[in-house]
């Protein structure tokens, strides 16, 4: 217990020392010190009289108050291209994982088409730029690649093993096909939304050009 208190005190001491050092270097302290020095000058000139400590302290406080606040750096977040680069790498790992799993032919074909759609949406260049402009589409694609598809494949593998021991009920193959169908529909919606975004962009430019011609 004593060791824990000592460690905590040391950590707290370092934090307090760091804060004190930061204040010494701050604009408030520099401005207050400059005003305080001016107060000392007045004292030496005989202006402050016996109240010079009050004058110096008051000028220091006034300087600290009028100093502009410290600028806090805004957090740096990865740009859309970097985020999509990570998702693209995840898609590559997903392909490797799927390639090692034995799937029924129908599901394997559907999954292959689905992954091809994901790859096309993540293609570096203007397709990825359009995707990056739609945070909801990026989220849906990331979720499908990192969670939905791996869960579909893993659940199928587990259910297939248990079905072999105890046959009956709806087949794991059928469940897998239904899941992939839902994901394919979702990918189609994402693609349609992005296509609509490009169509609106084109229409906006047409309207602008026509309006410029008439003006």
Q: Looking at 57-71, 75-89, 98-112, 123-137, which range is the least confident one?
A: 57-71
Q: Is residue 10 over pLDDT 90?
A: no
DSSP label at residue 101: S
Greater pLDDT, 51 or 163: 163
Greatest mean pLDDT among 41-45, 135-139, 160-164 lies in 135-139
* C-alpha to C-alpha distances, 41 to 31, 52, 60, nearest whole angstrom: 15, 10, 13
Q: Average pLDDT, whole number, for the chain?
A: 80
Q: Is residue 24 over pLDDT 80?
A: no
pLDDT classification of 94: cutoffs 50, 70, 90: very high
pLDDT value for 145: 96
pLDDT classification of 161: cutoffs 50, 70, 90: confident
């Amino acid at each position: 217990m004593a060791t824990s208190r000592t460690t905590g005190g040391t950590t707290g001491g370092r934090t307090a020392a760091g804060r004190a050092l930061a204040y010494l270097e701050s604009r408030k302290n520099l401005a207050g010190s400059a005003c305080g020095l001016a107060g000392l000058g007045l004292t030496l000139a005989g202006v402050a009289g016996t109240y010079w400590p009050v004058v110096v302290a008051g000028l220091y406080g006034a300087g600290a108050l009028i100093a502009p606040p410290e600028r806090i750096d805004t957090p740096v977040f990865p740009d859309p291209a970097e985020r999509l680069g990570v998702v693209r790498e995840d898609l590559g790992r997903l392909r490797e994982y799927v390639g090692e799993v034995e799937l029924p032919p129908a599901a394997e074909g559907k999954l292959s088409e689905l992954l091809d759609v994901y790859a096309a949406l993540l293609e570096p260049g203007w397709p990825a730029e359009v995707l990056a402009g739609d945070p909801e589409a990026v989220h849906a694609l990331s979720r499908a690649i990192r969670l939905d598809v791996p869960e579909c494949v893993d659940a199928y593998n587990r259910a297939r093993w248990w079905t072999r021991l105890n046959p009956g009920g709806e087949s794991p193959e059928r469940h897998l096909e239904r899941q992939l169908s839902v994901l394919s529909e979702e990918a189609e919606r994402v693609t349609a939304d992005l296509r609509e975004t490009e169509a609106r962009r084109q229409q906006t430019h047409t309207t602008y050009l026509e309006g410029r011609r008439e003006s």
